[in-house]
Each structure stands twice: as structure tokens, then as C-alpha cells.
């Protein structure tokens, strides 16, 4: 079952050689952090290091839970990570989970990769844990990409908590999306991977040259991102 392969990416377990890039993407200053729970305190360098240490121990021990709590999203061609998918409990007593996704590399947004990764992940979670009767996605009204992605995948907006989040001094709504197992199966009866094969994504147009930008995120040439400058509010 793992790795889970799509046309343009795979969801796979971490390896030791992924840790440097993963650590670099978690350091403050990246665009993805402005959208992914920006109302929470940023992880400190010590917390990131502790996270990486736990992950290292898990990789060395080869100790992975089923269903997996997190998989990295790797480019199908280069096998390099550019994001993660995860899940967590909203209500463990009723087997009520929520899924999460982050594409770390903003140059890969809006190309259908979130659709591919999150669809494969939700499909995996429903198959791997028959007691999940629904799957949630939690986001906020400032995250247009996540809202649209949830709707495109077939999630229903079930909860809107008005002015529950504050970002940059402004009020936003907290949003809860959900899909029932039977709704997911009805929408993707042969599985999400089959849907991707039947209805392949249109490749994005080639990126126009950007003379002012000296770097490119082409996975064939990119190296792990440099540690970006710390955000103003980071410890």
C-alpha cells in the first residue's frame, strides 16, 4: 500500500536522506507557513530539532503506524520531498479524524498536485482504517486554496466559526469541511488512483522565464531550501 503512487507524485515514508530538506522546510520564513495555521505559534528551532530526532528514531527502527500518521509527498520523477500529508484526531472516542496537507514549495501550488496528494491520502485513510466513517479538513477563510481544494475533492463545508481566527490583526472564520465514507466511495467508486488514471490532469503551461529570479524550483535542479530568515514573531 505504501508508497502510494500517483501520476506526478508519491506518498511515501521518510528516509534518513529526507531529514535535512524536511528540517529546512520547517524552519520559519516559508510561504506555506503563512497559510497553514498561521494563528498558531511558530515552532521553535528546538521543537523542530526534537521533531527531526523523533522522526530519525522512527526511520531507524522502521516503526510505522497503520494507518500512517504522516507521509511525505515526493516528486514522482526525482523522489524528492516537496510536502507532507498527515492526519490527527478530532474525536478519538468516535473514530473522528481530520486530514492535513502542506505543499512546502509554493512554486508547485495551483497545478493540481494538492488534489492528487490529498485525494490519494484520504482514499488511503478510508481503506486503512475501516472504523473511520468520516474525514474532516480544518482550515480558515483566508486560505482560498485549501477551501477550493476541499470542495473540488467532494468535501462539504459543515462548520463556519465566525471570527474565530486572527491573522495579521484581521478576523477570519474557522472552517470545517467533511466527507462521509459513503460519499467518498460514491464519488470515487474505483478508488481515487483510478480516477486520476481515467481523468489525468492537464499539465500546466511551461513556466515563463523570470529574469529577475536567479533560482528555480525545478525538482531536477533544486536542492533543499536554505534556512529562510526568521519570521518577526519567531522565538
Ligand X SMILES: CC(C)(COP(=O)(O)OP(=O)(O)OC[C@H]1O[C@@H](n2cnc3c(N)ncnc32)[C@H](O)[C@@H]1OP(=O)(O)O)[C@@H](O)C(=O)NCCC(=O)NCCS
Residue numbers at the binding site for ligand X (CB under 6 A): 32, 35-36, 101-103, 109-115, 139, 143-146, 148-149, 152
Distance between CA atoms of residues 1 and 12, nearest Å: 10
Distance between CA atoms of residues 102 and 120, nearest Å: 14
Burial class (CB in 10 A: 0-12, 13-18, 19+), 66: exposed
Distance between CA atoms of residues 153 and 137, nearest Å: 11
Nearer Cβ to ligand X (59/167): 167
In the complex, least distance from residue 150 CB atom to ligand X, rounded to whole angstroms: 9
In the complex, least distance from residue 8 CB atom to ligand X, rounded to whole angstroms: 10
In the complex, least distance from residue 111 CB atom to ligand X, rounded to whole angstroms: 5
Nearer Cβ to ligand X (58/107): 107
Contact 114/102 with Cβ under 8 angstroms? no
Nearer Cβ to ligand X (46/106): 106
In the complex, least distance from residue 65 CB atom to ligand X, rounded to whole angstroms: 22
Nearer Cβ to ligand X (102/132): 102
Cβ neighbours, 10 Å, residue 29: 15
Nearer Cβ to ligand X (38/67): 38
In 3D, which of 8, 21, 10 has the Cα closest to residue 73? Answer: 10
In the complex, least distance from residue 34 CB atom to ligand X, rounded to whole angstroms: 8
In the complex, least distance from residue 225 CB atom to ligand X, rounded to whole angstroms: 14
Beta strands in the chain (DSSP E): 4-5, 9-12, 70-75, 81-91, 96-103, 134-140, 156-167, 170-180
Nearer Cβ to ligand X (58/231): 231
SS3 percent helix, strand, coil of the chain, rounded to 5, is: 35, 25, 40
Relative to beta strand 70-75, strand 4-5 is unpaired
Tell me the residue nearest to ligand X as measured from the CB: 114
Nearer Cβ to ligand X (57/78): 78
In 3D, which of 59, 60, 91, 85 has the Cα closest to residue 72? Answer: 85
In the complex, least distance from residue 118 CB atom to ligand X, rounded to whole angstroms: 7
C-alpha cell at 1: 500500500
Amino acid at each position: 500500500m505504501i508508497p502510494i503512487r500517483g501520476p506526478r507524485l508519491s506518498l511515501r515514508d521518510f528516509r534518513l536522506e529526507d531529514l535535512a530538506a524536511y528540517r529546512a522546510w520547517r524552519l520559519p520564513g516559508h510561504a506555506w507557513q503563512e497559510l497553514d495555521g498561521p494563528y498558531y505559534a511558530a515552532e521553535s528551532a528546538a521543537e523542530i530539532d526534537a521533531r527531526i530526532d523523533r522522526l530519525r528514531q522512527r526511520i531507524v527502527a522502521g516503526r510505522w503506524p497503520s494507518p500512517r500518521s504522516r507521509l511525505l509527498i515526493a516528486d514522482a520523477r526525482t523522489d524528492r520531498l516537496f510536502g507532507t500529508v498527515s492526519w490527527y484526531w478530532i474525536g478519538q472516542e468516535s473514530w473522528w479524524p481530520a486530514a492535513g496537507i502542506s505543499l512546502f514549495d509554493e512554486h508547485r501550488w495551483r497545478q493540481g498536485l494538492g488534489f492528487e496528494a490529498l485525494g490519494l491520502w484520504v482514499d488511503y485513510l478510508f481503506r486503512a482504517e475501516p472504523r473511520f466513517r468520516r474525514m474532516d479538513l480544518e482550515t480558515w477563510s483566508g486560505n482560498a486554496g485549501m477551501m477550493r481544494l476541499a470542495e473540488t475533492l467532494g468535501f462539504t463545508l459543515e462548520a463556519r466559526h465566525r471570527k474565530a481566527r486572527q491573522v495579521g490583526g484581521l478576523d477570519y472564520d474557522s472552517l470545517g469541511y467533511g466527507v462521509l465514507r459513503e460519499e467518498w466511495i460514491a464519488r470515487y467508486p474505483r478508488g481515487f488512483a483510478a480516477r486520476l488514471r481515467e481523468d489525468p490532469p492537464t499539465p500546466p503551461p511551461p513556466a515563463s522565464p523570470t529574469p529577475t529570479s536567479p533560482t528555480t524550483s525545478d525538482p531536477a535542479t533544486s536542492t533543499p531550501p536554505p534556512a529562510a530568515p526568521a519570521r518577526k514573531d519567531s522565538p
